[in-house]
Chain A
Amino acid sequence: NAGVTQTPKFQVLKTGQSMTLQCAQDMNHNSMYWYRQDPGMGLRLIYYSASEGTTDKGEVPNGYNVSRLNKREFSLRLESAAPSQTSVYFCASSERWGSGDEQFFGPGTRLTVL
């Protein structure tokens, strides 16, 4: 039981390049989330998927897109990376949406955009 897994763990991009961060969970959770963590800012929600087949914007969605591929997988895409997107990205999942369930987090992806 791996919980929430993310790939890659580290990535360096040049400005304008694109990439997709992958996330998968094996807990049969309905809801999945993408956060970014910047120094002194805590975690901020980028996008979420309350259930398979739905996605919605969080606090800081600009410059990102997401895909809920199936119940297990939720990917985050940067179409044209910018230095302001340098951050640590966390994927999370929870059993249900809006019920105050604990969110389980992946190990994070450290992204640097030059």
Chain B
Amino acid sequence: SQTIHQWPATLVQPVGSPLSLECTVEGTSNPNLYWYRQAAGRGLQLLFYSVGIGQISSEVPQNLSASRPQDRQFILSSKKLLLSDSGFYLCACRRDYGYTFGSGTRLTVV
């Protein structure tokens, strides 16, 4: 079965600093991968998805970018964080039915 690893679990970063969140997947090959964000008290917002190495689709234009350098690696980045980037970031992988989610990274921008 698929397992998703995300790190770090929590992160506090100052405004204007860069960001790199990494997600790796085990137990599958050529997965479809997704980044979601959940602001405090809100639902999950789809940010990016990738169907293969180097292929990124953006759902919402914003201060973030994503990359997929390897088959089972998905990275979320920012050059300069904004206060509004705070939230709970989740990586997900397509499975036989629905999605498997990682345990998430809680980012606080101060």
Chains A and B belong together in one complex: no
Please list the residues of chain A having a beta carbon within 8 angstroms of any beta carbon in chain B.
none
Please list the residues of chain B having a beta carbon within 8 angstroms of any beta carbon in chain A.
none
